[in-house]
Amino acid sequence: MSESKDFLRTIVEKDLESGKCKEVVTRFPPEPNGFPHIGHAKSIFINFGIARDYNGHCNLRMDDTNPTKEDTKYVEALEDAVQWLGFDFGDNLYFTSDYFPKIYDYAIKLIKMGKAYVDSLTEEELREYRGMVKEAGKRSKYAERTVEENLNLFERMKNGEFKDGEHVLRAKIDMGAANMKMRDPLLYRIKHAHHFRTGDDWCIYPMYDFAHCLSDYTEGISHSICTLEFENNRDIYNWVLEELELELPRPYQHEFARLGINYTVMSKRKLLELVEGGQVNGWDDPRMPTIAGYKRRGYTPESILNFCDQIGIAKANSMVDVAQLEFCIRDDLNKKVPRVMCVLDPIKVTIQNYDGNEEIDAPYYPHDVPKEGSRKLPFSSEIYIESDDFMENPPKGYFRLTPDQPVRLKHAYIISCKEVVKDTNGNITEIIAEYSPESKSGSDTSGIQVKSAIHWVDAASAKAVEVRVYDRLFKDETPEGIEDINPDSLSVIKDALIEPAVITDKHDDRFQFERQGYFYTDPVDYTDEKPVFNKIVGLKDSWAKKTKASEPKPKPQAKKVQVDGEVVAMSEVQKALFEKYTGEFGLNSEVANILARDEHLSSFYKETLSILNSPVSLANIVVNEVARELKQMQESELKFTTKQIAERVKMVDDETISSKIAKVVFEVMAKSGEDPTQIVEDKGLVQISDPSKILPIIDEIIAKNPDNVAKFKAGNTKLLGFFVGQVLKTTGGKANPKVVNELVAEKLK
């Protein structure tokens, strides 16, 4: 768990504290119409994670209200994903379809209450009547049907007397609602389709907006967490539960931003295109961002979970860098996995001064991984090394084998190049080398200094294996479709050479191939005869970065220029008011502008002015503080009066209280409607301006924070605010900040 709390947990804690909910119950509610991807993992992590953190529980619920899209194979994949990630839903596996009878009863209830009606418009009419985003819709004439008619029609819908699309059940809300979703949303539609669980029991199915809130309610969900695109649906969610007069506690919906990762796509539609178009080999293709894909690629659940934790939860649409995910899997595997040697692109090396063969004992784990285990490494005069690890004409900074530079064979001897054998085209086919007999790893007395140790395999005993190297699926950071596909996202190496112990020992199913990356024994295609490894992720490669660093270079982007929009002109009346405010009252133009344009504020202001003649201070409080309250409620709902505002302003004007305390007083006032003088008296908030009382506190704080004093004296003048803040904190905000400022500045000079 990260140290800071996310906004959802903050809400949960608040609800627990206030008693709004007694037990935390969440749910992960996918529609079983596709394979889960890493976005689902985020949702699983959030829902199950929150339930776990607050000793509640989380249900797994299949939201199966659309029979034409859903299937049980997806149910299985979803269950598997949750379990693979390490979460236990126990008996709490539910299906919305189990609630169909209950939801039907609720629909009847709503009809009887006159809050739902059967509509018989065609699909086109329905759309037309809904209106536009900028204009109200109009209600269907069928909305006038009586309760009896509606009951009768709805029953007949259920009984299958109508064809698809002939009728729907709608909530009677408001066809003119600014929120389009509230324009008499559909509750039920007719669908003569076979449901994978309820079979042909039903031919009407509830819509998401009706089924979801009621399913949450019947499961006793406390926090219904979903993604941002459902923000507009929240109104219906609450409407249904409210209008049905369901008993408290009720669930409340909260939304977070869905996960986006660069160089990949996440929508079901686009993923499906990839599978159906043959761009990938099925839903579990290791390049897919699906759980099945990551699983087959060799990602660990721990790494995915850790990733979900690192990226956090917020409401801003965002695109996470895939490097963050890659870091998580490397970080996890680094601590767990045995190191072995595999040469992907072999070149033969003949060690001319070595005779016979031997077996070298080599540990599976490096010094910094506290795990035990080793294997035998056969060694002889014929070996293979990576062709990248030899260069005839090396660039500066190349640490590997060259005609002039010896290199260590990891776990074995130091060799140096004696001769390079080439074919007729000038390609290197073999390297003739010599080894230093005294240089054996662990008992090196040769004194030869090498710059690096490279991996290798013994020619006679190495096994040929297939290695599938995966790269990002798309070449574009924010891919649109298949046109952005990376043509090199998969390269299959048919004849890589691996040390024999990997195949015979079966020490693990994930390995680090030294200096290359992490690899996984493919769970589908791997056999002892034909071993297949999937590349999970490469090691960080700062050499590769260095060699091609010259090309890309970050483009220095100019700071965005702000375009100023147009400001609406003032009416004549407003202009006159503005003139009066700036001229007669001496308000600054900004304050005068706000006041003049807002009828409520200006009338409020006028009233306060008649009580206290302090135009500037009053204007400031009205424009800032009162405006905030007015944003949240009607003028008639305000707890405080103009008289109280005037009173509070007066206290600041005559320095009875500081402006800081004034804020506190205002808050209390806004909440309780108490008189400001009373508040100040009750809480003893009169400000302290006497330096002799403040000085000792300053001394104390200075004594407690020698570091910050030093920083301040070194020129960090921002810290003045820190000291002032500390003084105010210890005095409960009562110290006169102006005085404190002066005194602190004086003290620290």
Partner RNA sequence: UGGGGAUUCGCCAAGUGGUAAGGCACUAGCUUUUGGUGCUAGCAUUCACAGGUUCGAAUCCUGUAUCCCCAUCCA
Cα(263)–Cα(497) distance, rounded to whole angstroms? 31
Active-site choice (69, 191, 197, 268): 268
Nearer to RNA, 101 or 366 (CB): 366
Active-site choice (13, 31, 382, 629): 31
Cα(311)–Cα(327) distance, rounded to whole angstroms? 12
Nearer to RNA, 133 or 703 (CB): 133
Smallest separation, CB 96 to RNA (Å) = 7
The dihedrals phi and psi of 371, each to the nearest 5 degrees, come to: -130, 150
Cβ-contact 243, 212 below 8 angstroms: no
Smallest separation, CB 425 to RNA (Å) = 26
Cis peptide before 249 (omega within 30 of 0): yes
Compute the C-alpha angle 367/370/372, nearest 5°: 95
Smallest separation, CB 708 to RNA (Å) = 5
> For tokens 């996995």, what's the residue?
337
Nearer to RNA, 22 or 546 (CB): 546
Nearer to RNA, 26 or 658 (CB): 658
Nearer to RNA, 296 or 520 (CB): 520
Cα(306)–Cα(325) distance, rounded to whole angstroms? 9
* Per-residue three-class SS string for 204-269: EEECHHHHHHHHHHHCCCCEEEEEHHHHHHHHHHHHHHHHCCCCCCCCEEEEECCCCECCCCCCHH
Whether 258 is catalytic: yes
* HSE-CB for 686 with a 13 A CA cutoff: 8
Nearer to RNA, 130 or 747 (CB): 130
Q: Of 152, 155, 143, 137, which Cα lies nearest the Cα of 117?
A: 143
Nearer to RNA, 541 or 699 (CB): 541
Q: Two tokens at 119?
A: 């509509």
Cα(318)–Cα(428) distance, rounded to whole angstroms? 49
End-to-end CA distance of the chain: give it in Å, rounded.
44
Smallest separation, CB 442 to RNA (Å) = 5
H/E element holding 652?
helix 642-653
Cα dihedral across residues 232, 237, 242, 248: positive or negative: negative
Whether 268 is catalytic: yes
> Beta strand pairing status for 342-343 and 186-190?
unpaired
Q: Two tokens at 284?
A: 């579990």
| Chain centroid to CA 647 | 48
Cα(388)–Cα(74) distance, rounded to whole angstroms? 45
Active-site choice (52, 109, 258, 597): 258
DSSP letters of 322-387?
HHHHHHHHHHHHHHH--EE-EESSEEEEEETT--SEEEEEEESS-TTS----EEEEEEESEEEEEG
Cα(239)–Cα(184) distance, rounded to whole angstroms? 11
Question: DSSP secondary-structure letter at 203?
Answer: S
The dihedrals phi and psi of 412, each to the nearest 5 degrees, come to: -125, -135
Nearer to RNA, 63 or 285 (CB): 63
Smallest separation, CB 106 to RNA (Å) = 16
| Chain centroid to CA 722 | 33
Smallest separation, CB 581 to RNA (Å) = 12
Q: Which residues on neighbouring strands pair with residue 377, listed in sequence order?
A: 360
> Beta strand pairing status for 453-454 and 407-409?
parallel
Smallest separation, CB 673 to RNA (Å) = 19
Smallest separation, CB 120 to RNA (Å) = 8
Nearer to RNA, 11 or 490 (CB): 11
The residues carrying an active-site annotation are 31, 258, 268
